[in-house]
Each structure stands twice: as structure tokens, then as C-alpha cells.
A = this chain, B = another copy of it.
């Protein structure tokens, strides 16, 4: 496949004096800080959704992302091509990791069998690209919130069929993450919560969620997947009350259902502030949980994976335009988030350009 970004070479560290918009000013991968290189300390990852799938739409307008490589279809072929574009982007950016939702990388089919087949077809390409570039998978996850079937939750849905479908989807997502050598697997309970207590049995839904996660833990063992399981706390959206609202709520749940030995937390800056806390607080709470496998550092980062967004994070779009470069760094993962339209979590947005070709979206 010809290069999508032919005019862009690998982004280099050029120091704070550089005026080159496509250069790192602060991130020098080989510089040793506290006994490790910055690359080892800061395990940057490009998240597929933020960078390649978000359309920069909001509740008040259609998307504005410009991605010249898109052909306007949501086909498997386009998904495979997109994967190769993504790896060219990540490779030139110099990020050691990437991360994805299942529905980001491959389209939903007419039934589970076709959907899984679609996923396999793209995973094949991802595998080739991982081998070609040395870029690794930081985590995989299943998108259990975009499709209308999940309107009332996945593991906490009032519909047993939905629970079963979600379980099948997670099963496949763990398999694929395992196949790609993923370092971890993330659960974000996108619609696990309630709109009103008037029609919700909170206790029962929590039981279902615990059951669901225990099944995932069992299956992980069955197939020999050694990656870390994570829960990603987030409050308030899309449901009125998200069960995984903050670190303390997640830990309480994990303790109650004997899941703490199997999970760590994936802390996100905007989620922390949306919960009325600070990022540091959430890290500290996670770090003090006393159930981490790794040793605990000052701010508890060993107990938690960090996800963040940046006001001016590099985007594939911006990259294509040669107009921006990433200057954002966070301890263990790298959300090279396409700037997008506001949710509560991301109240600020900057957008440019034309309407999107695809209505699909994940978190």
C-alpha cells in the first residue's frame, strides 16, 4: 500500500527550541529519567477510536473530521486499509503501543458469526503490522455501548439475550487481544448504570456485573491469557449513574465480589475530574488499594493505568495536514485523541473541515 502520509517522516525529538511543528519538543524516547528511558517510563499508546474513528460530531451537529483515506464505506476492506494507515501514523509518531475497541477496528456484521469473521479479517492485518513495525497492543476492549441492543446495559441489561450477546462479544475480544499479545484488557461499563432507580434493582444488576466479570476471569485462565484486566472508572455519562463511577466505587465493588485480585484500574484524567476528584486522588486511591501486583510508587501509578487526553493532542487528521504534533505525555498510555465535540467529559473542542463518511462511533 502506498504511504498515506508521504510528506511526513518519522517524528524526531528536536528539543524545546525547535520550531518544527512535527517534532517532539520534550519527549526524547532514549533519554534516561530515574533509571529508565522515557520510552520505558511513558508507555505511550495511540488509541484507535480517538485517532481513527471519532467523527468529531456532537449532539448538536454532524461530524467534521477529514480523513482523505476513507472511502465512505464501513466495509471490511476499508477497515483493513485503515489499519495500515493507522500503523503508518503510529510508527511515524514513534509510539510503542496502540489500543482498540473491537468495533473500532472491524465493522459489526449481520450476526455474531459474521461480526467475528470481520474482526478476524482485520486482526490478520493488525498482526502483520505489529510484526512489521514492532508496535505492540497495550490493551483491547469490547464496545458494549454503541449498538442499540445495549441501550439498557450489557452485563446489567434487563434482557438476558443482551447479557449473553455481550458475553460472547467479550469472549471474542479477549481471544483477539490474546492472539495479538495484548498487555492488558480493559472493561469500560459504558452503559452499566441506571437512568432512574424507579425501575432499577441496583443490587441485582451489580450481582449480574460481578457474575459477568467472574466469567471473564475464568475464560482468561482457560485460554491462558496473561494480560492484566482493568476497569475504567467513569461517572455520569452516558447513564445518569454509572456503576463504575470512581476509583472508590470500583474498589468497593471489586472487594464485595472477590474480584480485587483480578483487576486493576485504568484511570482517566477527565473521568476523575468529572467525578469531582483530581487525577492524583484517583491514582492515590487505586495505589493504596493494597491489592496491586506491582510495587506502589508515590502516586500509586503501579496500581493503575493512566489514560488522558490533551487539548492539542496529535491527530491523524492534523498529522495529514502537517499542522500539529503531539506534545502530550502520560505515564503509561497515550491517548492521541482526535479533538472532538463536547461531552461532559470533554467540554472543549476544536474542529475543522468536512462531514464524516461513517456514522459509527465508540467511546
Name A's B-contacting residues (CB within 8 A): 57-64, 145-148, 150-151, 190-191, 195-197, 202-203, 206, 235-241, 245-246, 248-249, 251-252, 255-256, 275-278, 280-281, 284-285, 287-290, 299, 341-344, 347-355, 359, 361-363
- B277 and A276 contacting across the interface, CB-CB below 8 Å: no
Q: With A197-B280, A248-B249, A249-B248 given, is the CB distance from A145 to B60 under 8 Å?
A: yes
Residues of B with C-beta under 8 A to A197 = 278, 280-281, 284, 299
Residues of B with C-beta under 8 A to A251 = 252, 256
SS of A interface (majority): loop
- B348 and A240 contacting across the interface, CB-CB below 8 Å: yes
**Distance in angstroms between the alpha carbons of A107 and B212 in the assembled complex:** 44
- B248 and A349 contacting across the interface, CB-CB below 8 Å: no
Q: Which of B59, B237, B245, B352 contacts A248 (CB 8 A)?
A: B245
- A355 and B148 contacting across the interface, CB-CB below 8 Å: yes
- A202 and B60 contacting across the interface, CB-CB below 8 Å: no
Residues of B with C-beta under 8 A to A288 = 202-203, 206
> Chain copies in the assembly?
4
Closest B residue by C-beta to A245: B248
**Distance in angstroms between the alpha carbons of A148 and B355 in the assembled complex:** 6
**Distance in angstroms between the alpha carbons of A145 and B59 in the assembled complex:** 10
Q: How far is the CB of A274 from chain B (nearest CB, A)?
A: 9
Residues of B with C-beta under 8 A to A290 = 203, 256
**Distance in angstroms between the alpha carbons of A118 and B287 in the assembled complex:** 44
- A61 and B287 contacting across the interface, CB-CB below 8 Å: no
Residues of B with C-beta under 8 A to A289 = 256
Q: How far is the CB of A189 from chain B (nearest CB, A)?
A: 11
**Distance in angstroms between the alpha carbons of A249 and B347 in the assembled complex:** 20
**Distance in angstroms between the alpha carbons of A289 and B60 in the assembled complex:** 30
- A61 and B248 contacting across the interface, CB-CB below 8 Å: no
Q: How far is the CB of A328 from chain B (nearest CB, A)?
A: 16
- B190 and A147 contacting across the interface, CB-CB below 8 Å: no
Residues of B with C-beta under 8 A to A147 = 61-62, 355
Q: With A206-B288, A281-B241 given, is the CB distance from A61 to B348 under 8 Å?
A: no
- B61 and A354 contacting across the interface, CB-CB below 8 Å: no
Residues of B with C-beta under 8 A to A190 = 60-61
- B59 and A287 contacting across the interface, CB-CB below 8 Å: no
Residues of B with C-beta under 8 A to A252 = 248-249, 251-252, 255
- B202 and A285 contacting across the interface, CB-CB below 8 Å: yes
Q: With A288-B206, A354-B148 given, is the CB distance from A59 to B59 under 8 Å?
A: yes
Q: What are 21 contact pairs spanning A and B, CB under 8 A? A: A59-B343, A60-B343, A61-B147, A61-B148, A61-B190, A62-B146, A147-B355, A151-B351, A151-B353, A195-B349, A196-B348, A196-B350, A202-B284, A238-B341, A238-B342, A240-B342, A241-B281, A255-B255, A276-B276, A344-B344, A359-B359
- A237 and B342 contacting across the interface, CB-CB below 8 Å: yes
Residues of B with C-beta under 8 A to A352 = 151
Closest B residue by C-beta to A190: B60
Q: With A60-B363, A61-B145, A290-B256 given, is the CB distance from A236 to B276 under 8 Å?
A: yes
**Distance in angstroms between the alpha carbons of A21 and B355 in the assembled complex:** 42
Q: How far is the CB of A123 from chain B (nearest CB, A)?
A: 24
Give the one of A238, A349, A352, A355 with max B CB within 10 A: A238
**Distance in angstroms between the alpha carbons of A196 and B284 in the assembled complex:** 12
